[in-house]
Chains A and B, each alone.
Chain A
Amino acid sequence: MTVEIIASIVKSVLMIVIGLNLSVFLLYFERKGSALIQDRVGANRAGITGLGKKLGLPNLGIINTLVFDPIKMFTKEDFVPDGADKFLHTLAPFLALFPVMITFVVIPFGDTISIAGHQIDLQAANLNAAVLYLLATIGIGVYGIALAGWSSNNRWSLLGGIRATAQMISYELAMGLALIAVITTYGTLDLQEIVRGQGGVYFGWLPRWGLFTQPLAFIIFMTAGVAESKRVPFDLPESESELILGYFTEYSGGKQAVFMLTDFAEQALVAMLVTTFFLGGWQMPWLYRDGFHLPGGAFIAMPALAISIAGILAFLIKVLALCVFLGLVRWTLPRFRYDQLMRLGWKMLVPLGLINLLITAFLVVAVGSAS
């Protein structure tokens, strides 16, 4: 019993740490990766001892972005505008961050491992209705942003809040439809089971990932996910040229930092969800419980522990790759217009999702579910 309790505490902390570290990576990528893409130098000033310069290493701006930026943020004045609803204005950033953070716990990051006779599932909270849970937390996430916009007593903030709320509500629908197709395919609401269902291969070489089983759902979910996290090309709520900074115009200091953290954590969450549903989660291609079965019949045996670690690494690599991909999207595409955004959501993604659901249901009845 105590082992289980310790294990679940360790797993929860680990998942939060992974989520926060991915957010930090995204923050760094936002600064330095964007510079790379836009052919700029980017953050390269601050260092601590000048040691890197003496050794002739290029300054990667890590100290700048990961040490001094947060210090700068948290030491700025925490400002509440005149006529703002003080309580809600303070509550809103945390209300935005909280749902994102609690969603991390349902994501499986590895197969079941056995340590000293205890079976430990590498998933912080093994809910049997995990898909519903994450839809619920995503639904709750709207409030922090809506209230931030409303409580600031600023028109730009309110407009940003309204845009963000409408956008998130609209794309939640498309996201839900894509997920319904996925859970119809695998016949379960349990994320660990969905990942297990993505093991194995088609035609002897193609991994059975959701990407290949449900390509349409992948596209819909990815688009809706980017829209949910309010990133370019869907960053209408905070479009600088129109709304200053949208719903967090009136935030400064630590609360602003919490909002930025929410943004990055949301992006990391989307990457994790896409990995779990469509890129096979912790499944490594051709790796089974006893070792690699390469296409062509070759077989490499591996010890069980190495396979578990390989699974965790596969999950992390996929999530990191998706984070970089989302960053590339963010710095390459121009912003949508608001009517285009709504048209894409309601007139393209929702009908596509319904058609996909119909096809999926037909195939499941005709052929049987994937797992």
Chain B
Amino acid sequence: MALWLFVFLAVISLVSALGVIVQRNPVHCLLALVLTILALAVLFIALDATVVGFLQIIVYAGAIMVLFLFVIWLLNLQAETGPTGSLALKFFGTIASAALVAELWSFLLRPHLKVKYVGESASYGTLGALSQKLFTDYLIAFEATSILLLAAIVGAVALARRAPGQRDSRQGSLP
């Protein structure tokens, strides 16, 4: 990966990640998050994780974030007015995250992480290689994930469903 590409994507992802937490309108936060996800997906593809990068766009940006958008619309959330959170919280939040960055950096700079780049096989990052792993070494985890997804669907429907006869005062039904 060229240096300029990394710098470009890093700046985009950092600025948009900041955008997620500083903007007042939830829709704007969501768009910033989508931008972060897209920048990271391009970074994945540049790191030869082609399939995972595209899956990141399809699953994260194309499905999960749209779900968020729907919920924002459903709850009719407007931009927050007035102060968001207490000042003390902001103060300690900044300190805590700065401390976290410092700690992670000091960990990353330790010599045991200096793994030598060994190069990769020709099939690295392709769908074939990914599926090979998924259906051999990680088969049980893969099957467990499918059950997890089924459980999540059932759970989401059970949670979001209105009990029969219960009318919602604020919302009409979706079109």
Contact = CB atoms under 8 A, between A and B. Distances in A.
Interface of A: 85, 88, 128-129, 132-133, 135-136, 138-140, 142-143, 146-147, 150, 158-159, 162-163, 165-166, 169, 172, 189, 338
A136 B175 CA distance: 26
B66 A132 contact: no
Given A88-B31, A159-B175, 12 more contacts: A85-B25, A129-B127, A132-B127, A133-B54, A135-B58, A136-B61, A139-B58, A140-B57, A165-B66, A165-B69, A172-B62, A338-B175
B62 A142 contact: yes
A146 B63 contact: no
Interface string B132-175: 00000000000000000000000000000000000000000011
Contacts of B38: 140
* Secondary structure of the A contact surface, majority rule: helix
Contacts of A129: 50-51, 54, 126-127
Interface of B: 25, 27, 31, 34, 38, 50-51, 54-55, 57-58, 61-63, 66, 69-70, 73, 126-127, 174-175
B63 A139 contact: yes
A142 B57 contact: no
A159 B110 CA distance: 54
Given A162-B73, A162-B175, A136 B51 contact: no
B62 A162 contact: no
Contact of A139 (B27, B61, B70, B73): B61
Contact of A132 (B31, B34, B55, B70): B55
B58 A162 contact: no
Contacts, number: 65
A136 B174 contact: no
A193 to B, nearest CB: 13
Contacts of B55: 132
A133 B53 CA distance: 10
* Secondary structure of the B contact surface, majority rule: helix
A146 B51 contact: no
B54 A135 contact: yes
A150 B70 CA distance: 11
B30 to A, nearest CB: 10
Which A-B residue pairs are the 4 nearest by beta carbons? A139-B62, A132-B54, A136-B57, A136-B54
A150 B54 contact: no
Contacts of B58: 132, 135-136, 139
Given A150-B27, A162-B175, A338-B175, A128 B126 contact: yes
B57 A146 contact: no
A179 to B, nearest CB: 12
A92 to B, nearest CB: 11
Nearest to B79: A85
A2 B54 CA distance: 29
A162 B62 CA distance: 15
A143 B34 contact: yes
Contact of B69 (A85, A88, A133, A146): A146
A300 B62 CA distance: 49
Given A132-B54, A133-B54, A162-B73, A142 B66 contact: yes
B70 A165 contact: yes
Contacts of A147: 27, 31
17 contacts: A128-B50, A129-B51, A132-B50, A132-B127, A135-B54, A135-B58, A135-B62, A136-B57, A136-B58, A138-B62, A139-B58, A140-B38, A140-B57, A143-B31, A150-B69, A162-B175, A169-B62
Contacts of A146: 66, 69
B12 to A, nearest CB: 15
